């Protein structure tokens, strides 16, 4: 999937990785970039088309797929990340919020835009996942569970969409320097580095990209003895 002359639809495009994706898409020659956010007035990047979209709102998603039939690349970037494990009183409510945004949001958008992509020759979907798809800890338990589910959804939809020639790319990375990680004193990658790796992989036709060294180390450890996922994430 080449960015040159592509029409890109990005969720959560007003800040962080979404904003970096929008900047990079324009720089790589995208014909049009739809920058979706719950508050479109928060989208201030010149050259993009601000779109009102809450990924938990099925009606807004259906309207976006109807109103923007020229999309050739969907970037499912919008997500939430709250700390907490599974045994706290509020963990079930937190899990529902995480799944609605991080799993069902991208799934809704994939369902809505799959026919649009098919009509435009196949195109591509890029799902922003995480190193937490594979490893977990009490600090990031519920968030990690949602990203594991989103990884499974990504792999399943890749198979379902292969017949219409839609590329599905999973982006995994560790901590990134965004608002979501502001309170964490850990090494962080820049948004531009992660987005650059993701779009390079997309243009190379890849199905998965490991955007930083720690993610590559964890991925290699999935088959180690003991496997890396049997250990808690250390912060």
Query: For the chain, which domains are there?
Result: 7-230 (3.40.50.720)
Measured CA distances, 179 to 14, 74, 82, 141, 230 (Å): 12, 23, 12, 19, 29
- Per-residue model confidence (pLDDT) at position 234: 59
- Per-residue model confidence (pLDDT) at position 179: 67
Of the candidates 215, 44, 228, the one whose C-alpha atom is nearest the C-alpha of residue 128 is 215
Peptide bond into 226 cis (omega under 30): yes
State how far the Cα of 138 lies from the Cα of 218, in Å rounded to an integer. 18
Q: Are 179 and 96 in contact (CB under 8 A)?
A: no
State how far the Cα of 53 lies from the Cα of 35, in Å rounded to an integer. 9
Helices H / strands E in the chain, number of each:
7, 7
Name residue 125's beta-bridge partners. 74, 168
Spell out the residues 6+ positions from residue 152 whose beta carbon is closer than 8 angstroms to its own.
Answer: none
Spell out the residues 6+ positions from residue 181 whose beta carbon is closer than 8 angstroms to its own.
Answer: 81, 175, 188
Which two structure tokens, joined as six digits, stand for 9? 């639809």
pLDDT averaged per 10 residues in sequence order, the chain, 235 residues: 97 96 98 98 98 98 98 98 93 97 98 98 98 91 97 98 98 82 69 96 98 93 90 61
């Amino acid at each position: 999937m080449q960015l040159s002359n592509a029409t890109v639809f990005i969720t959560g495009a007003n800040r962080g990785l979404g904003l970096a994706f929008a900047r990079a898409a324009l720089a790589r020659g995208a014909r049009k970039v739809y920058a979706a956010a719950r508050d479109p007035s928060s989208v201030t990047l010149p050259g993009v088309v601000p779109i009102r979209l809450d990924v938990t709102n099925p009606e807004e998603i259906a309207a976006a797929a109807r109103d923007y039939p020229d999309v050739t690349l969907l970037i499912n970037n919008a997500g939430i990340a709250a700390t907490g494990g599974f045994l706290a009183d509020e963990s079930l409510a937190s899990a529902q919020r995480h799944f609605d945004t991080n799993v069902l949001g991208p799934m809704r958008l994939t369902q809505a835009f799959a026919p649009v992509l098919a009509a435009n020759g196949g195109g591509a979907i890029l799902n922003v996942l995480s190193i937490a798809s594979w490893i977990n800890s009490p600090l990031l338990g519920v968030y990690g569970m949602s990203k594991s589910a989103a990884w499974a959804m990504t792999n399943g939809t890749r198979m379902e969409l292969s017949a219409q020639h839609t590329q599905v790319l999973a982006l995994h990375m560790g901590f990134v320097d965004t608002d979501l990680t502001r309170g964490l004193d850990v090494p962080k990658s820049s948004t531009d580095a992660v987005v650059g790796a993701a779009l390079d992989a997309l243009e190379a036709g890849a199905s998965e990209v490991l955007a930083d060294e720690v993610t590559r180390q964890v991925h290699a450890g999935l088959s180690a003895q003991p496997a890396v996922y049997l250990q808690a994430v250390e912060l």
